[in-house]
Chain A
Amino acid sequence: MITPEIQWIAILPEIALAAGAAAVLLIEVQWKPAANRLGWVAGISFALAMAFTIVQWLTASDALAVGQIGSLLGFSGMVLMDGFAVFGRLALLAIMGLGLMSGWRFVTGLGRRGAESIALILLATAGFSIMIASNNLVMMFLGLEVGSISLYVLAGMTRDTSRSDEAAMKYFLLGSFASAIFIYGVALLYAGTGRFDVLGMRGFFSGVIVTAPAVILIGIALVIVGLGFKVSAAPFHSWAPDVYQGAPAGITGYMAAMAKVAGFLAIARILITGLPQYEQSWAPVLAGVAALSMAIGAFMALVQSDVRRLLAYSGVAHAGFIMTGLVGGTFTGMLFYVAVYALQLVGAFAIVAAVSGSASSASDIDDYRGLVRRSPVLAVSLAVLLLGMAGLPLTSGFVAKFGVFAEAWAGGFEWLVILGVLTSVVTFAFYLRVIVMMFMEESESDLAAPSTPVRWAVGLAVLGTVLFGILPEPLLRLAADAFPL
């Protein structure tokens, strides 16, 4: 019997994050340091995870250059080190860094329980990171659950407010339900193919013709439903507005962005890599979900009076736009979109937390009245981020929309692109409402200046939005190179 080779490098980023989480909890118990010290621990594990990811990236490009694909299959093919996984890890780590910065006031405001929230943030990242890197669907499910459960707890960190309670409860119940549907779908795919690993499924289908693929088709549908819930695509989006509104604003952006990135990468890996032979079956379903998400998200956001609910519904619309990039069976547009949107989302919620308070509370659109007088920097930053989400040229959002629309058009989904550009105009309408409030209304009240970490998080998000809008080349090339095995 041969002992399986253990390629530690394949999971070192996750180990760094999980060890960081454990260290934060242990140090808290032993020494009870100030939250800032714990922040350093989180920072170190972030830096280590980032470094290991970059090593993986170099390993992957070396291996691909010489055609040694086998060396990218870690743990007997359980975990992959392909460009796809590396891209996803980089995105997740970037979100985590920004999320920690923008949520720092919330974390320190929790007092002793701040350590728990730091540990949960690190753990959630580790979970989602393993999810997007795994080739094996059971492994993927484990990662999904580690990440999701951490997020459920984070949503309910401010237990004293009923809204946060409600958000956490709703998120937990519906989220578990969605996870169950996903694992059921995985089971049916296993029943149909006898394989748990994505690459194995692809190999299986290239060899045989399944005459009655009902089991497989139902499995595909259930996987789409389960992951569609995680990315808040319509019609599986009903939890999103309540959770976005109820969860502590400081980390809502992190939670939302995390789930979106991991969910979309998982959908892409399972459907496009694992089941390309069934593209005729799943592409129209994705297109339908995308169309519904764009329409429902855009029109529901029009009537929201709370900025967090508005961002939640706009997130539903964005789930639709991102999914538009998948219907043609391509990755690049989706990867670019999900990365730049995550950046905008974290930045926008950092500002929401600074304006409305970082704990869970209402963030009525009236709070933003005349924001440009009270805090010009925050107002201009939020305007840039919102226009970026709206997809105005010279922001990253435009390049992203252009990418997914071009891919969908090339894939033969012209109607979806036309619906997409039209709903984009509808999204302009509600983003402009916030901008009108901030720039064209007057206000007398004052606003405390945002803390330094928040300023950094917002600054980086704005910089990315503008930079990738004018010079999209580095990120686009990275996304184009980040194909899965």
Chain B
Amino acid sequence: MSLLTWLILVPIAGALVIMAIPREREELHLPLGIALSALPLALAGYLFYAFEPVPGFQFTESVPWYEPWGISWSLGVDGISMPMVLLTTILVPIALGASTGIKNRRKEFVANTLLLEAGMIGVFLALDLFLFFVFFEAILVPMYFIIGIWGSDRRRYAATKFFLYTAFGSAFMLAGIIALALAHSAQAGSVSFALADLMTVELSQGTERWLFAAFALAFAIKVPLFPLHTWLPDAHTEAPTAGSVLLAGVLLKLGTYGLLRYNLGLFPEASVDAAWIMGVLAVIGIVYGAVVAIVQPDLKKLVAYSSVSHLGFIVLGTFALTSGGLQGAVIQNVNHGITTGALFLLVGMIYERRHTKQISEFGGLQKVMPIYAGFFLFMVFASIGLPGLNGFVGEFLVLVGSYATLPPLAIIAASGVVLAAIYLLWAYERVFTGIPEKEENKALSDLSPREIGLLAPLAILVLVLGLYPNILLDKIAPSTEQVLDHVEASTGYEVPEPGRLGDVFVAGDGR
């Protein structure tokens, strides 16, 4: 078995280890869970180190699962999925570290989180559509329990809504996968669900559009794209901190990753045709999410709606179909996971102290909790996209990349950056500046070393990716260029001149 299989099996084994520890030894579960989740992080770190900046899949492996159906355990990693695997393995230990507040059935909580990790890694690594679907759908269960058991008051409603919404979308994708595989077997004479095989299927224009829509619906719900976003504020707000971090940090990315990998890869013609529609939906999401975030009285809901806005940038970049757009989309996947994950951690920390998330309950916290305020402001700036921090890189690439092909949308999307500054800075002002008036706020303790330890790695990543994005972009670029090559080769589409390479930040030999 090779590295990628281990990446999936190690968290599953970790979950089994946790389940094997008696319930009475509850002081062991969380530390051991964190230690066990460091193993996949180490594997992913090695993956990052050993990953060659060349196009195509690396570390591939394939074992037949059930040959008559042509399904196989096929894994591989490229510049689009590698950053996502790394992000997942970074966020899981942090999310577990932030879960000391969970006293109730801690053992099951840790095991669920590790199973969730295995599923998320599996989605990013799968190169067989059957296998991909299995992981895509299977992660619903641990997340469902994480929201539904350890969430806040309306957790049952939120968990069920989350589950049903996503299952609804994937139902169409399942029909699409079956249709695509049958079309392949009719043409090639052999059954296969391998991504590489299915990419060669010749589809009529009508069929391709239907299949594009089926896949896009599943991913658009996951992203979520306007108007399919209504599950997100509920799920985010009701989930425990660890759940929100992983939901925003990784689960939403399954949608943007799917659009990039499967919609562009399998249905290039339809993707080119639908670029405007997807772009318009993305921009509506950017503006709508931002405007709704401005008026949220609840800090956690504000961050949740900011996700709707930020994820819109990623979708816009994907369907800009330019070098900058795609690279921006991939790196923004990572950036959003880091900054929004950190913001959810921060909201969780204040909630543990005050048991409220209402912005109006706070004020003047800067004076009482300077370190906390410092981290919060730093992450707010990263999220807004201050130059020098990671958010800037991704949003800039997306805007430049989409201006080449979808100029009006890029212009409107740019307003999202301004709106982000409004809702985040205004929230910061109301929570942190001024003099603390409420008695409860005056006695708040600042961050503990443990909490600083959770936030510091994320803050460092924000700086590293902001100052030297090529550490990732060098490895991303060959794969996104390959996606563009594939789209160009299989359609009449040509990336307009300023959109292909030569953009700022684009990795090349001369750098």
Q: Which residue numbers of A lie inside 8 Å of B, CB to CB?
A: 387, 392-394, 398, 402, 405-406, 409-410, 414, 417-418, 421-422, 424-425, 428-429, 432-433, 436, 439-441, 472-473, 476-477, 480
Q: Which residues of B contact A425 (CB under 8 A)?
A: 164, 167-168, 171
The residues in B between 153 and 182 inclusive whose CB is less than 8 angstroms from any CB of A are 155-156, 159-160, 163-164, 167-168, 171-172, 174-175, 178-179, 181-182
22 A-B pairs with C-beta separation under 8 A = A394-B134, A402-B174, A405-B175, A405-B178, A406-B178, A406-B182, A409-B182, A414-B175, A417-B178, A421-B175, A425-B167, A425-B171, A428-B167, A432-B160, A432-B163, A436-B148, A440-B149, A472-B66, A473-B65, A476-B66, A476-B68, A477-B68
Q: Closest approach, in angstroms, between the C-beta of B400 and any C-beta of chain A?
A: 39
Q: Indicate if the CB atoms of B138 and A393 lie closer than 8 Å.
A: yes
Q: Indicate if the CB atoms of B160 and A473 lie closer than 8 Å.
A: no
The answer to the question of B362 belonging to the interface, with a C-beta cut-off of 8 Å to chain A, is no
Given A406-B182, A409-B178, A424-B171, 19 more pairs with CB closer than 8 A: A392-B137, A392-B140, A392-B141, A393-B138, A398-B137, A402-B130, A406-B69, A406-B178, A409-B179, A417-B175, A418-B172, A418-B175, A421-B171, A428-B163, A432-B144, A439-B149, A440-B149, A473-B65, A473-B66
Binary interface encoding of chain B residues 47-86 relative to chain A, with 1 for a CB under 8 A from any of its CBs, else 0: 0000000000000000001101100000000000000000
Number of contact residues on B: which range applies? 20 to 34
* Chain A interface helix/strand/loop/mixed: helix
Q: Indicate if the CB atoms of A440 and B148 lie closer than 8 Å.
A: yes
Residue of A nearest to B169 (CB): A425
Q: Closest approach, in angstroms, between the C-beta of B107 and any C-beta of chain A?
A: 11
Nearest first, the 3 closest Cβ-Cβ pairs linking A and B are A421-B171, A393-B134, A393-B137
Q: Which residues of B contact A394 (CB under 8 A)?
A: 134, 138
The answer to the question of B145 belonging to the interface, with a C-beta cut-off of 8 Å to chain A, is yes
In the assembly, what is the distance between CA of A422 and CA of B214, in Å? 12
Q: Closest approach, in angstroms, between the C-beta of B30 and any C-beta of chain A?
A: 20
Q: Closest approach, in angstroms, between the C-beta of A107 and any C-beta of chain B?
A: 34
In the assembly, what is the distance between CA of A392 and CA of B143, in Å? 14
Q: Indicate if the CB atoms of A440 and B155 lie closer than 8 Å.
A: yes
Q: Which residues of A contact B138 (CB under 8 A)?
A: 392-394
Cβ-defined partner of A439 (8 Å) among B148, B175, B178: B148
In the assembly, what is the distance between CA of A414 and CA of B206, in Å? 15
Q: Which residues of B contact A417 (CB under 8 A)?
A: 175, 178
In the assembly, what is the distance between CA of A405 and CA of B178, in Å? 8
Q: Closest approach, in angstroms, between the C-beta of A369 and any C-beta of chain B?
A: 12
Q: Closest approach, in angstroms, between the C-beta of B217 and any C-beta of chain A?
A: 12
In the assembly, what is the distance between CA of A480 and CA of B66, in Å? 12
Q: Indicate if the CB atoms of B141 and A387 lie closer than 8 Å.
A: yes
In the assembly, what is the distance between CA of A417 and CA of B164, in Å? 19
The answer to the question of B133 belonging to the interface, with a C-beta cut-off of 8 Å to chain A, is yes
Q: Which residues of B contact A406 (CB under 8 A)?
A: 69, 178, 181-182
Cβ-defined partner of A429 (8 Å) among B137, B164, B175: B164
Q: Indicate if the CB atoms of B160 and A421 lie closer than 8 Å.
A: no
Q: Indicate if the CB atoms of B163 and A402 lie closer than 8 Å.
A: no
Q: Which residues of B contact A398 (CB under 8 A)?
A: 134, 137
Q: Which residues of A contact B65 (CB under 8 A)?
A: 473
The residues in B between 123 and 139 inclusive whose CB is less than 8 angstroms from any CB of A are 130, 133-135, 137-138
The answer to whether A422 and B178 touch (CB under 8 A), given A394-B138, A432-B160, A432-B164, is no
